[in-house]
Amino acid sequence: MTPEKGVIDNRPTCSLIESQGLNALDKWYVLIDLDHPAKKSSDLVTSLAAFNVSPKEINVVIFTHLHPDHMGHKDLFPNALFIFHKDEKLSFHFKHNKTLELEGDAVYDLSENGWPQYMDGMPDLRKLGNYLYIKHCPGHTKGSLVMFACIEKMIFAFVGGIFLNKSYYENWQPPGMSWNQEIIYDHMRFIQEHANVIVPGHGKPFII
């Protein structure tokens, strides 16, 4: 997607996070967003296989937002807990799944399938350790989320619809067709101030 040419390829960015489980021998796998439902599910399966991970091993799937292009092929992950914000309109698609609907900003332990710890302030992102900071950033949708992780001393922001790709960041342009486009600018500035690497909703990660 580019501001100049519109939609060229609307495949979303799907991120895999691997961490150590509660048992030192175990691995804990988290996906942030899924593939476009119109695409072949084997694409996502093949991508996971490159990391020697099968869909059945995915413990948690966190959605930046519940637009259909970010939640395709959810049935590939029978053992996953699906996490999204309670204000997402399309949450009824998960009525037969194991879900956790967030109600505010939280930190989530990547090593266990526990309940997020809600918080009023912001944690020290440099000291997140094995936690994700999940921030409610309404705008693209009413329940949009942004995830922050500290990886190799770099703050990664998984931003979903805040920045669709690098060109949107460079042009300082929020996506169109949003629930409330104006308030997205506040989230854009927050991400710019606190992140080192942006993982956009539809493109490659980039350093800022």
Given a contact cutoff of 8 angstroms between Cβ atoms, the answer to whether 138 and 64 are in contact is no
Q: Give the residue-averaged pLDDT of 129-153.
A: 96
The reply to whether 97 falls in a domain is: yes
Predicted TM-score of the model (pTM): 0.92
The reply to whether 7 falls in a domain is: no
Query: For residue 201, which of 81, 5, 82, 66 has the smallest C-alpha distance?
Result: 66
Q: Tens digits of per-residue pLDDT, 97-109?
A: 999 999 999 999 8
The reply to whether 10 falls in a domain is: no
What domain range includes position 203? 15-207
The reply to whether 8 falls in a domain is: no
Is the pLDDT at 84 greater than 60? The verdict is: yes
The reply to whether 19 falls in a domain is: yes
- In this prediction, residue 9 carries a pLDDT of 60
The reply to whether 64 falls in a domain is: yes
Q: Give the residue-averaged pLDDT of 37-58.
A: 90
Number of domains observed in the structure of the chain: 1
Average pLDDT along the chain:
91
The reply to whether 2 falls in a domain is: no
Given a contact cutoff of 8 angstroms between Cβ atoms, the answer to whether 80 and 59 are in contact is yes
- In this prediction, residue 180 carries a pLDDT of 95
Is the pLDDT at 133 greater than 90? The verdict is: yes
Given a contact cutoff of 8 angstroms between Cβ atoms, the answer to whether 172 and 187 are in contact is no
Give the residue, 56 or 36, on which the prediction is more confident: 56
Count other C-beta atoms under 10 Å from residue 22's C-beta.
Answer: 11
Q: Give the residue-averaged pLDDT of 102-118.
A: 86
Q: By percentage, how much of the chain surpasses pLDDT 90?
A: 77
The reply to whether 60 falls in a domain is: yes
Query: For residue 179, which of 87, 49, 82 has the smallest C-alpha distance?
Result: 87
Q: Give the CATH number of the domain where residue 136 resides.
A: 3.60.15.10
- In this prediction, residue 4 carries a pLDDT of 60
Is the pLDDT at 114 greater than 80? The verdict is: no
